[in-house]
């Protein structure tokens, strides 16, 4: 196996990580697209199948399709699944025309509302609505959703849903994507519609650029499922795995996207109760580190099962603190991996504090490291 240089893996500071569809929609703790791109260029063959069992915002899937590989993504978060599909699905000229028509009609609605007054709209009801959303904002979100449901093409619908989802926190009373506190924003009439149109135009251009690069004979599959059980993927069928499991006791992804999911009718509880490594588990419910270890073993055992013999899994993962104890994750993985048929080929490590571009800066505390762990199925 070709040796990976540490400087190659951990030297993306200053590089553009938002090219093509990678900047679509806010999402926490994304790794830079240059990482899966480099791994694919060096270790994959066009036409192979790439798996990311914690696909998140779809970074690996996007790069796999640009490279010319089939891509399979899995995530417990329904919004992550929707986002990954949109980011990694090329669209046709007819689909782009439908999106542009949708935007033009909405811009026309804005003018009519400003000069002729707002129509009466029966607001879609969601939990916590009055506390978190102004009435005019709820009306405009409902109006957009009603128009989206009239689109016949599923890919176009999904694209428009992601555009809407991307502005939900901005027009809500939630302080920011990372602060779950209510503040008064005084969102004016029509701003929600205007922000949607602006974002839709931007995202449409990015999808066009991406679509021109994708080899259309490759396939994309994204599953809303728990990576501790990949029974929908056959044994020995995956050529390469590139993934980044959650960092224990760091995020509650379900909470981060809660209002987006409510508006889009996505299941909130499935992610809430099946996320591994969530802050809810280890801070609120006081789970022990053994639970984290057990969950990782189940996930890695499934990765081992689906991976072809003598093929590789590239795992990006960071140290964690559970009950004030620093969990050096590379040691945990090095201990259990051989017991489930995975050989540790190489571990590259770096201080989290030096590479906050890759991970949440607040997580990059002294003593924690991030690791690229390369495993081979034996």
Per-residue pLDDT of 214-233, as tens digits, reads 977 899 999 999 999 999 99
- Total-model pTM: 0.92
**Cβ distance 342 to 300 under 8 Å?**
yes
Whole-number pLDDT of residue 2 = 57
Whole-number pLDDT of residue 289 = 75
Task: Supply φ then ψ for residue 113, to 5 degrees.
Answer: -65, -40
**Taking Cα atoms as reference points, which of 121, 118, 147, 141 lies closest to residue 129?**
141
Q: Indicate the fold that domain 6-90+220-250+276-377 takes in CATH.
A: Rossmann fold (3.40.50)
Instruction: Please tell me the distance from the alpha carbon of residue 190 to that of residue 110, in angstroms, as a whole number.
Output: 6
Instruction: Please tell me the distance from the alpha carbon of residue 16 to that of residue 22, in angstroms, as a whole number.
Output: 10
- Of residues 119 and 29, the one with the higher pLDDT is 119
Structure tokens that stand for 320 in this block:
């964690």
Task: Supply φ then ψ for residue 89, to 5 degrees.
Answer: -110, 115
Cα angle vertex 50, ends 77, 378, to 5°? 110
Which residues belong to CATH 3.40.50.150 in the chain?
6-90+220-250+276-377
Q: What is the pLDDT of residues 347-363, one digit of tens each?
A: 999 876 554 434 344 44
Express as a percent the part of the chain with pLDDT over 70.
89
**Beta-bridge partners for 321:** 326
- Of residues 321 and 113, the one with the higher pLDDT is 113
Q: Is residue 4 very low, low, confident or very high in pLDDT (cuts 50, 70, 90)?
A: low
Q: What is the pLDDT of residues 17-41, one digit of tens each?
A: 999 999 999 998 888 999 999 999 9
Token pair 């991030």 is found at: 370
Instruction: Please tell me the distance from the alpha carbon of residue 27 to that of residue 22, in angstroms, as a whole number.
Output: 10
Q: What is the β-pairing status of strands 307-318 and 369-377?
A: antiparallel
Q: Is residue 319 very low, low, confident or very high in pLDDT (cuts 50, 70, 90)?
A: confident
Helix H, strand E, coil C: the string for 349-372 is EEEHHHCCCCCCHHHCCCCCEEEE
Q: What is the pLDDT of residues 248-286, one digit of tens each?
A: 766 667 778 889 999 999 998 898 888 887 766 666 656
Whole-number pLDDT of residue 246 = 84
Whole-number pLDDT of residue 238 = 98
Whole-number pLDDT of residue 178 = 79
- Of residues 338 and 1, the one with the higher pLDDT is 338
Mean pLDDT of the chain: 90
């Amino acid at each position: 196996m070709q040796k990976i240089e540490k400087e190659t893996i951990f030297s993306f500071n200053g590089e553009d990580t938002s090219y093509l569809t990678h900047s679509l929609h806010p999402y926490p703790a994304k790794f830079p697209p240059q990482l899966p791109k480099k791994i694919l260029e060096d270790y994959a063959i066009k036409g192979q199948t790439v798996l990311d069992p914690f696909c998140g915002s779809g970074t690996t899937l996007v790069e796999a399709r640009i490279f010319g590989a089939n891509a399979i993504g899995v995530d417990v978060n329904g919004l992550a699944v929707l986002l990954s599909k949109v980011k990694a699905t090329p669209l046709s000229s007819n689909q782009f025309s439908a999106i542009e028509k949708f935007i033009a009609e909405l811009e026309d609605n804005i003018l009519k509302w400003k000069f002729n007054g707002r129509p009466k709209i029966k607001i879609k009801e969601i939990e916590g609505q009055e506390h978190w959303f102004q009435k005019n904002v709820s009306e405009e979100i409902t109006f957009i959703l009603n128009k989206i449901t009239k689109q016949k093409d599923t890919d176009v619908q999904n694209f428009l849903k992601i555009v809407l989802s991307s502005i939900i926190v901005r027009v809500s009373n939630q302080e920011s994507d990372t602060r779950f506190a209510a503040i008064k924003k005084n969102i004016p009439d029509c701003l929600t519609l205007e922000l949607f149109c602006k974002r839709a135009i931007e995202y449409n251009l990015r999808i066009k650029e991406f679509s021109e690069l994708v080899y259309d004979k490759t396939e994309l599959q994204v599953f809303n499922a728990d990576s501790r059980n990949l029974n929908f993927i056959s044994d020995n069928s995956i050529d390469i795995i590139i993934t980044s499991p959650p960092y224990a006791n760091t995020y509650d992804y379900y909470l981060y996207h809660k209002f987006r999911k409510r508006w889009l009718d996505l299941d909130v509880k499935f992610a809430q109760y099946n996320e591994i490594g969530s802050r809810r588990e280890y801070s609120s419910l006081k789970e022990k580190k053994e639970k984290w270890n057990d969950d990782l073993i189940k996930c890695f055992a499934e990765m081992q099962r689906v991976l072809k013999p003598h093929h590789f899994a590239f795992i990006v993962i960071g140290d964690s603190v559970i009950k004030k104890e620093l969990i050096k994750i590379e040691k945990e993985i090095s201990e259990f991996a051989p017991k489930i048929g995975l050989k540790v080929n190489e571990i590259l490590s770096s201080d989290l504090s030096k590479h906050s571009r890759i991970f949440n800066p607040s997580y990059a505390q002294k003593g924690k490291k991030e690791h690229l762990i390369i495993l081979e199925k034996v």
